[in-house]
Amino acid sequence: MEPFIIFGLGNPGREYEHTRHNIGFIAIDKLSIAWNVDITRVRYKSLIGEGKFGENKVILVKPLTFMNRSGNAVSSFMQFYKIDAARILIIHDDMDLPFGSLRIRADGGSAGQRGMQSIISRIGTNEFARMRVGIGRPPGRMDPVDYVLKKFTEKDQLGLDLVLDSIVRAIETLLTDGIEKAMTLYNHSVLNDE
């Protein structure tokens, strides 16, 4: 069976660790713990780990190309593994969703997210699964760039833990029962429903 490749978008480097923009990297780290997958190899300018969830061969990927060039890594993996876009999932941050919300879709546009724009441009289709993870809007007049590059606060941490647990369950549902079931169960605000 073809592998299912899960890409978490973010920026490499210590200064970006645990920032809102790096929620994709944080989610991949959570999946690696849940599924006991070591993410230690470098391939196609990405940190990767290979493992299994149930009957599914999974590859967890953190592109090291910086967010705006994520398409370079995604296209390289698709070409190497000769897989269809239906076998990938992209996890990324979304300022237009409240903190704690998840939105899973089977296809769609970039919603202005530059990493997603890069992927759609490089692979030539928007027909791939994506999970938008809400980080909320910046407070007051804070610059959006400054906001997404701020680290999650200690106050955010409890909510973030709940979000990450839901991300893992949603992806496990997607792999075992399909994207429609995952959308039905997890397209909501994790924090309001707990």
Cβ(74)–Cβ(139) below 8 Å: no
Output the pLDDT for position 118. Answer: 94
Tokens 């780990």 belong to residue? 49
**Full-prediction pTM beyond 0.85?**
yes
**Residue 21 appears among annotated catalytic residues:** yes
> What is d(CA 150, CA 148) in angstroms, rounded to the nearest whole number?
6
Output the pLDDT for position 21. Answer: 93
Dihedral (C-alpha) 139, 142, 145, 146: value to the nearest 10 degrees? -100
> What is d(CA 182, CA 113) in angstroms, rounded to the nearest whole number?
22
pLDDT tens-place values along the chain, 194 residues long: 789 999 999 999 999 999 999 999 999 999 999 999 999 999 999 999 999 999 999 999 999 998 999 999 999 999 999 999 999 999 999 999 999 999 999 999 887 788 899 999 999 999 999 999 999 999 889 999 899 999 998 888 889 999 999 999 999 999 999 999 999 999 998 886 44
Q: Which of 18, 21, 92, 188 is catalytic?
A: 21
